[in-house]
């Protein structure tokens, strides 16, 4: 799967198809996460957010931030929150989870199917905050990831 995503990544990048490139990066991050390569997954998700910052996704459709693009970014933030939990960056996960939920509210027509998932991620972040132990900031990941909440 990674081979095909990498090939699609090259093609979409060469043609400047930024929203397709963002989707490739989202899929790539998911695969990397499944392979327990969480830092690399975070990098791919951050590259999607860089495309947003550079307004590249707005160039594709011409119409600015469509509901579909907002939803893609919401899913990106949600997945970033999950990856940050794996890396024990609870503060970052809290911010990313909140960003996902805020963006999802702006595009309910597309995000409805993921709202429960976004809420589960938020609950996982809260559980992570509640399980912080002492100054070492160790997490009980078994408790935090009690439910399979990969988006």
Residue-level pLDDT, tens digit, the chain, 151 residues: 777 777 877 787 788 778 888 999 999 999 999 999 999 999 999 999 999 998 887 755 545 568 888 999 999 999 999 999 999 999 999 999 999 999 999 988 888 889 999 999 999 998 888 787 555 566 666 656 654 444 3
Q: Which domains does the chain carry?
A: 2-144 (1.25.40.10)
**Alpha-carbon 74 to chain mean position:** 7
Using DSSP, state whether 16 is helix, strand or coil.
coil
């Amino acid at each position: 799967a990674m081979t095909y995503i990498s090939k699609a990544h090259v093609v979409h990048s060469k043609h400047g198809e930024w929203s397709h490139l963002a989707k490739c990066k989202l899929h790539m991050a998911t695969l990397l996460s499944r392979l327990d390569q969480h830092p690399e997954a975070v990098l791919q998700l951050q590259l999607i957010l860089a495309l947003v910052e550079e307004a590249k996704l707005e160039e594709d459709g011409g119409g600015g931030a469509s509901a579909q693009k907002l939803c893609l970014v919401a899913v990106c933030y949600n997945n970033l929150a999950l990856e940050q939990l794996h890396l024990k960056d609870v503060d970052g996960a809290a911010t990313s989870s909140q960003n996902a939920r805020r963006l999802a509210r702006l595009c309910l027509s597309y995000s409805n199917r993921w709202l429960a998932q976004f809420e589960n991620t938020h609950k996982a972040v809260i559980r992570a905050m509640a399980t912080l132990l002492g100054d070492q900031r160790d997490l009980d990941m078994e408790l935090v990831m009690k439910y399979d909440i990969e988006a």
